[in-house]
Structure formats: structure tokens, C-alpha cells
């Protein structure tokens, strides 16, 4: 039961962090001709959809309650 509680805490922290920390994305647009390479690399940050963050929060809270058990 303590393992379930620990997993719930991890999910809860990930859910909270996903609201504030963006995920970096890199894209490479290039053409290689022989030994030469011409291209552009773009980078942008995307946030996790709020529905996923809410699901992580809810799942973490449910696992914490279920893992608490009766000792």
C-alpha cells in the first residue's frame, strides 16, 4: 500500500509541474546535397494540455487515498 501512495505523490507532483513547465520541441528542416547541408532548426515550447494535467492530479490524489489504507 505504501508503494501506491508513493506513486500517487509522484503523479501529483507531475500534474502540478505540467501546469507551469513547458516542454521544448526542436524541428530540423534541412536539405543535404553531397557533403553540404543547408537547413534551419526551429525550437518552440509547448505546454501539456490542461486535461492531461488535471488527469494526473486526479489520478495522483486517488492513488494517495487508496494507498493510505488502514494501519
Give the residue extent of every domain in the chain.
2-68
Cα–chain center distance at 17: 8
More confident residue, 1 or 4: 4
Do residues 8 and 62 make contact, with C-beta atoms less than 8 angstroms apart?
Answer: yes
Residue 70: pLDDT over 70? no
Q: Which pLDDT tens digit goes with each residue over 13-62?
A: 999 999 999 989 999 888 988 888 889 989 999 888 999 999 999 999 99
Torsion sign over Cα 35, 40, 45, 51? negative
Please state, in angstroms and rounded to a whole number, the distance separating the CA atoms of residues 12 and 19. 11
Amino acid at each position: 500500500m505504501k508503494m501506491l501512495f508513493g506513486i500517487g505523490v509522484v503523479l501529483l507532483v507531475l500534474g502540478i509541474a505540467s501546469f507551469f513547465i513547458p516542454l521544448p520541441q526542436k524541428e530540423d528542416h534541412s536539405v543535404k546535397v553531397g557533403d553540404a547541408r543547408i537547413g534551419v532548426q526551429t525550437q518552440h515550447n509547448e505546454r501539456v494540455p490542461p486535461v492531461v494535467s488535471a488527469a494526473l492530479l486526479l489520478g495522483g490524489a486517488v492513488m494517495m487515498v487508496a494507498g493510505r489504507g488502514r494501519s
